[in-house]
Amino acid sequence: MPVPELIRIVSRDSPMALAQVERVRAELAVLHPGVRTAVVPVKTTGDKWLGDLSQVEGKGAFTKEVDAALLAGEADLAVHCVKDVPADRPLPAGTVFAAFLKRDDIRDALVHPGGLTLDELPPGTRIGTSSVRRIAQLAATHPHLECVPFRGNANRRLEKLAAGEADALLLAVSGLERIGRTDVISEVLSPETMMPPIGAGILALQCREDDTELIDAVSGLGDPATHREAAAERMFLHVLQGHCNSPIAGYARVDRSGELSLRACVFTPDGKTRLNAHEWAGRLDPATLGTSVAVALLRQGAREIIDGIPH
Ligand SMILES: NCc1[nH]cc(CCC(=O)O)c1CC(=O)O
């Protein structure tokens, strides 16, 4: 099968995003030693606007300009954090996911310069996070901590922490791995302590749907278990139809025997109400499992919670 001579890869221009592109280039070089790659970095609305994301149509704030470059033919392949790709709507018309790379760590980490763990943080400790998912869970389990709005890419957040704009941060372990800063982690939080976001730790490769030569060339980078997990998680979010202020968390797992399960939660912003569901796929395909878990939460009142949150 012919492989394109040159693959132009578009991505956000943050250090984390560029590290993700380097992983893709390294994996491509193994699969297709002859292929040349070029990087097309773009700034997204989410990188430029450091205020409240819901004010800049939060959904797609980290993907819109990347998708546009792909569709305009300025690049051939986009690398996205699945977590940042809206799931309530289909992918931009004319594009498809060609592969989901093997999943990284899905957990969040506490970054505290003094090395304390979450349970050791004294009352009033300011946690820098704008994530409604993290805020709701902290409010439920650690109500004595105070969350302060914190945006910017991971490197920028670490700089702001060092400048004293917060006392501690929550950041994804996978992101810290990608920027080579796992040294700042004071505690890795279990998924029970801090339920991860849908799509955590997964990179997706997106192509134009008519670019079959490229789709064939990169599909070999995909990981089948990650694909099943991503399909279940994204269909879950699609059926639930959240918005950018609705605290939703969850993750699918393919266990050692190959069985797929999906666990997910919806919270009120104050964390006082938490709906839970956990189901095994059994004979269901991943997308149907995602649908089933969403319906289980809707039966418990998820729609009322989500629609009751201003956005
Ligand atoms: N919103 C930025 C973003 N997008 C994806 C990740 C983490 C990496 C991943 O889950 O793929 C992060 C940083 C963070 O949440 O700490």
pLDDT at 57: 57
pLDDT at 74: 97
pLDDT at 52: 75
Q: Which residue has the higher pLDDT, 44 or 233?
A: 233
Residue 10 has pLDDT above 60, yes or no: yes
The residue among 3, 95, 19, 30 whose CA lies nearest residue 11 is 19
Q: Which pLDDT band, with edges at 50, 70 and 90, does 26 fall under?
A: very high
Mean pLDDT of 251-270: 97
Question: How many Å lie between the centroid of ligand 1 and the Cα of residue 2?
Answer: 34
| Residue ranges lining ligand 1, Cβ < 6 Å | 81, 83-84, 154, 171-172, 174-175, 200-201
Which atom of ligand 1 is least distant from the CA of 170?
A: 16
State the catalytic residue, choosing from 84, 104, 108, 211: 84
Mean pLDDT of 218-230: 98
Question: How many Å lie between the centroid of ligand 1 and the Cα of residue 160?
Answer: 17
Question: How many Å lie between the centroid of ligand 1 and the Cα of residue 217?
Answer: 27
| pLDDT tens digit sequence for 244-253 | 899 999 999 9
Structure pTM?
0.95
Mean pLDDT of 56-72: 84
pLDDT at 55: 65
Which atom of ligand 1 is least distant from the CA of 84?
A: 4
Which atom of ligand 1 is least distant from the CA of 203?
A: 11
Residue 58 has pLDDT above 70, yes or no: no
pLDDT at 56: 60
Which one of 156, 174, 244 would you pick to mutate in the ligand 1 pocket, going by the greatest count of ligand atoms within 8 A of its CB? 174
Domains defined for the chain, CATH in brackets = 6-101+201-222 (3.40.190.10), 108-188 (3.40.190.10), 233-307 (3.30.160.40)
**Phi, psi dihedrals of residue 144, rounded to the nearest 5°:** -80, -5
Residue 268 has pLDDT above 70, yes or no: yes
Mean pLDDT of 220-237: 98
Which one of 81, 132, 234 would you pick to mutate in the ligand 1 pocket, going by the greatest count of ligand atoms within 8 A of its CB? 81
pLDDT at 284: 98
Question: How many Å lie between the centroid of ligand 1 and the Cα of residue 171?
Answer: 7
- Reported ipTM: the value is 0.90
Which atom of ligand 1 is least distant from the CA of 157?
A: 16
The residue whose C-alpha atom lies closest to atom 9 belonging to ligand 1 is 201
pLDDT at 67: 93
Question: How many Å lie between the centroid of ligand 1 and the Cα of residue 5?
Answer: 31
Residue 5 has pLDDT above 80, yes or no: yes
The residue whose C-alpha atom lies closest to atom 11 belonging to ligand 1 is 201
User: Can you read off the two tokens belonging to residue 47?
Assistant: 């990188």
| 126 touches 146 (CB < 8 A) | yes
Average the pLDDT over each of 45-59, 101-115, 130-144, 217-231 and give the range with the smallest value: 45-59
Question: How many Å lie between the centroid of ligand 1 and the Cα of residue 14?
Answer: 11
pLDDT at 45: 83
Residue 241 has pLDDT above 60, yes or no: yes
User: What is the β-pairing status of strands 77-81 and 203-208?
Assistant: antiparallel
Which atom of ligand 1 is least distant from the CA of 172?
A: 16
Rounded Cα distance between 98 and 220, Å, is 9
| pLDDT tens digit sequence for 94-124 | 999 999 999 999 999 999 999 999 999 999 9
84 is catalytic: yes
